[in-house]
Structure 1
Amino acid sequence: MSPVDRGGADPGGGEPATGESATDEWYRHFGTVDAPGNSACYAEWSVRIADDPELIRRIDQWPYTKRQPLLMLAAARFLGARISPYPDFREFLDAHWDDVSRIVLSRATQTNEAGRCATLLPSLAQIAADGRPLALLEVGASAGLALFPDRYGYEYDAGAEATRLAPAGAAPGSYPVLGCAVTGPVPLPAELPQVVWRAGIDLNPLDVGNPDDVAWLEALVWPEQDFRRERLRQAIAIARAEPPLLVAGDLNDRLPALAAQAPSDATLVVFHSAVLGYLDAEARDQFRATMSRLAAERGCHWLSNEGHTVIIQPDGSSVVPEMDDSRLRGRFLLLHNGRPAAITGPHGQSLEWL
């Protein structure tokens, strides 16, 4: 697997049926399972791409891990493709194919969805219940926007009632409010936990001060989801005011040394979302072994928020063997120290406590 794809990712990669010749099925899955209800535009484009042999032939010329639907569609959006009927989009691709290929080959699906903090917050608050502040370390951090759960607002909707939380002292409108529908006995906190250290690892960290990186983050937001684009911009403003420590490198190579930098009087939490699908089975086993050592030596907590795969693995290994995919139905499984805690919406939109 190409190392350039190990980073902050997005569930909207879809899954091909089997093997590298199933690119059309990969796009059809994305267009019929992942995109409906989230983006009518992407649903139409992806299904039509699946039925377009010439375009599939071009996509198949890219390395396997670069054929993801979201990556190709985001590259086109980055270059100016707008919501349109498929024939217009197809003309855009014909006119800009060399540039689309350049972006696909040089970028990765480093979606940095601040909304996922809504599904992580109850677990983080439980960890902080002993009164110690938190030190957060995200692997696959992209631009590090998920490292600010204490700086965002939240609205948890349980149907009959809602729980709202806001960062202390922050002016309304200066932070995104993350909405999340909850079911089951979710341990919603009464206040936000204290975070005293935040750091991340990514093969190619994105810089919120770089206009091209910001434009790429916006291109990764699905076309009709303006609310996600707006909260992305608010989260970027927070990160610009207090940039987290982001280091470039492979997560297995950099994790031990970076974890050692966390303050000793804080509780270390290592977390990730939609990242493990980019590692083969051997690399995932190495990561789990590192987490076991950190737990034993440092009392580190581990929050894993993953779907079965983002990119299907040639070795056939499963990222989330703890849950039947038919129950996840395109959602993620949140594990706390290896034990299932909740089923979560991939963009933080829902939280089903187990």
Structure 2
Amino acid sequence: MKTLLGLLLSSFFTALLLSAGASAERVKDIASVAGVRSNQLIGYGLVVGLDGTGDQTTQSPFTTQSFSNMLKQFGINVPEGTRMQMKNVAAVMIHADLPAFAKPGQAIDITVSSVSNAKSLRGGTLLMSKLKGIDGNTYAVAQGSLVVGGFGVEAGDGSNITVNVPSVGRIPNGATVERSVPNNFTGNQPIVFNLNRADFTTANRLATAINEMLGPDVAAAIDAVSVAVKAPQDPAHRVDFMALLENIEVKPGEEAARVVINSRTGTIVVGQHVRVSPVAITHGSLTVSISEDYDVSQPGAFAQGQTAITPNSAIDVEEETNPMFKFAPGSTLEDIVRSVNNVGASPADLMAILEALKQSGALNAELLVI
């Protein structure tokens, strides 16, 4: 096995030198390994030490209940009916991502968010809280001082100003992992790569590149997303094997012809392979302006009659004389952009033109409106 790995590494570096000038991507940049993923954790806790910006306990009874339950763990019993005004305490939710292969004792970042009416978490300290997974098990314990990017200032007359969001903070390395998540990477199953974007061409090229380096029938494309690779059963050899595979360079397949329109911002992105069938387009606008003045007719001196006001309306019609332009068979992106720019169309006009082209069947691409 050591000899085989040595030969594979030699072949790998030779392939890297040969493909250095090619436009290609590493496997680790375009695909992920099935089963190697992060897991979400969530918890509930209390932040203390706030400067009067905590929860208003009259409107958040669960804060008082949580604080009383915590005091009981230290042998302190609060008499029932006691009204506690804890403006320096806030109830919060905690969430974090548990990375793949995280081991007990490692530290992870956490985000703390207020769940009641606390004005700010600035200067607060999170007390020890459990972070649980979807299965209900505790995987980490969180505690520490918060870093809050926002702040708020309130004057005596009720006016206030808030910058960013002071009710959310982070604690770098604020949680310690207590339990690892099992995975099947060390098993005897094949390693499966899942492409970040489904594409049959890319999947086929990835399997071909692996087979050219390691030998025939080592990798096989399952579908447009997944490529299965036969791997050693020894965990140490699987790590070496993965280090080899994830650095293989593959040229991804070209994307399908697509036009993306953002109707809110007017942004239009036209893909490389967008083509237009023979079609003629005219673009113009008609502007009608109506103005109205009033003429005053007044009788002469010592003459009988009354002052009369008569309207005097004027209508002006302006029409842009933009010429008609046409697309030749197989027009490319450059032809489309140049023709539309010559007409002087705005982004809104261009969206209307593209939608009309799609409806007429002349636009040979997928039109996405977001």
TM range, smaller chain: under 0.3
Structure with larger Rg: 2
Higher helix share: 1
Higher strand share: 2
Q: Which has the higher contact order (CA 8 A, sep 6+)?
A: 1
What is the TM-score with the length of structure 2 in the denominator? 0.17
What is the TM-score with the length of structure 1 in the denominator? 0.17
